[in-house]
Amino acid sequence: MRRSVLSLLAATTALTLAFAAPTRAAEDAVVIPAPAMDAAPASGIQTAVIAGGCFWGVQGVFQHTAGVVNAVSGYAGGTKATADYQTVSSGRTGHAESVEIKFDPKKISYGKILQIYFSVAHDPTQLNRQGPDGGTQYRSAIFTTSDEQKKVAEAYIAQLDSAKVFSKPIVTKVGALEAFYPAEGYHQDYLTLHPNQPYIAYNDIPKVENLKKLFADNYIEKPTLVSASKPTN
């Protein structure tokens, strides 16, 4: 037990030091239209899995989004055997740092989640990087859980590219989710627990502020934390 605690403290310290001097601030938010095609109304809790750079900020954005009942940082795109932070950080596992979003479609649609994702959560035109972080583990990706999600995501990307909303083409890859693996406990609720950590303050807090500014109707002040969440199916 003592060894595992010391390892956790060491890992947390290493992360803080590694990100103590970020090279640039979070990308500016972009005002974009809502998707012309959205998922059909449904009952029950739905799941969306997205990747857009470091999962701390993406999780933080959706923890402040109304209708989201849980947002968990983790890994998608690789195998269970390599789903740990140190291995994923090598960039050779196929995993992307991702966030699994459980949401109530009666309160927020899948299309609205994608609108927030493309607008304030990350820059979808950056290939295999996001801000100061580089590597395939920081790629922009949507892992779909149904054919309907795939159609909505692909149609929305085509819509945004056609409208030339961004100055460069969107590089977000859309593919079926094979599995999602939650990240280590010290990665969960990171933005809320460490708001003054330099990386968070410089790169991720502005994303939450942009959510509040651009999506006021979807913003909630009190975050929905993993540590306080109830199990969902």
Active-site entry in 49, 51, 54, 71:
54
Assigned token pair, 140: 């922009």
Q: Which amino acid is at 29?
A: A
Q: How far apart are CA 38 and CA 42, in angstroms?
A: 12
By the 8 A CB rule, do 129 and 5 touch? Answer: no
Query: Has 121 been annotated as catalytic?
Result: no
Q: Please say whether the beta carbons of 191 and 56 come within 8 A.
A: yes
CA 116 to chain centre: 10
| C-alpha distances out from residue 48 to 63, 98, 196, 202, 206, Å | 13, 10, 29, 27, 23
Residues designated catalytic: 54
